[in-house]
C-alpha cells in the first residue's frame, strides 16, 4: 500500500491501474489523497508516480517537510507550513481513515 497526494484531475484522467481509494482534500477539491493498495504491475505504479503533481508519501521520507504546494489543501486537517510528512500524517489520519476504508 502507498499513500499519495495528487491533482484530482490526474486521478480522473489517469486512474491508478489497480485497487485504490481516494478522497478530495477538504480545503481544495482539486487535490486528492489517494491510497493505492494493488497496482496491476510495476510499470503501472511507475506511470502513476511519474504523473505531474503526484507525490508519494514514502515511509522513508516521513522526516521531510510536507509538500508546501499542498499545505493549503489540507489546512483544516492540521497541516501547517514546515511540518514534516510524519507530523501531517499523525494529525490528518483521524480525518482520512473514514474516507479511505478498504472495501
* Main-chain dihedrals φ then ψ at residue 68, nearest 5 degrees: -60, -35
Give SS3 for 67.
coil
Residues 10-42 have pLDDT tens digits of: 989 999 998 888 888 889 999 998 988 889 999
Is the pLDDT at 100 greater than 60, yes or no?
A: no
Return d(Cα 72, Cα 88) in angstroms, integer. 12
Is the pLDDT at 52 greater than 70, yes or no?
A: yes
What confidence category does residue 50 fall into, taking pLDDT thresholds of 50, 70 and 90? very high
Q: In angstroms, what CA-CA distances link 67 with 10, 61, 71, 85?
A: 17, 11, 7, 8
Residues 6+ apart with CB under 8 A from 87: 66
Residues 69-83 have pLDDT tens digits of: 889 999 998 899 999
Cell of 90: 499523525
Specify the pLDDT at position 73: 92
Map out the domains of the chain as residue ranges: 2-96
Amino acid at each position: 500500500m502507498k499513500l499519495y497526494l495528487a491533482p484530482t484531475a490526474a486521478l480522473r484522467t489517469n486512474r491508478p491501474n489497480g485497487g485504490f481509494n481516494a478522497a478530495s482534500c477538504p480545503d481544495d477539491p482539486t487535490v486528492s489523497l489517494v491510497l493505492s493498495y494493488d497496482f496491476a504491475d510495476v510499470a503501472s505504479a511507475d506511470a502513476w508516480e511519474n504523473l505531474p503533481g503526484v507525490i508519494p508519501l514514502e515511509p522513508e521520507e516521513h522526516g521531510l517537510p510536507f509538500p508546501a504546494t499542498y499545505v493549503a489543501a489540507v489546512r483544516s486537517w492540521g497541516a501547517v507550513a514546515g511540518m514534516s510528512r510524519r507530523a501531517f500524517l499523525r494529525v490528518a489520519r483521524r480525518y482520512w481513515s473514514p474516507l479511505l476504508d478498504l472495501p
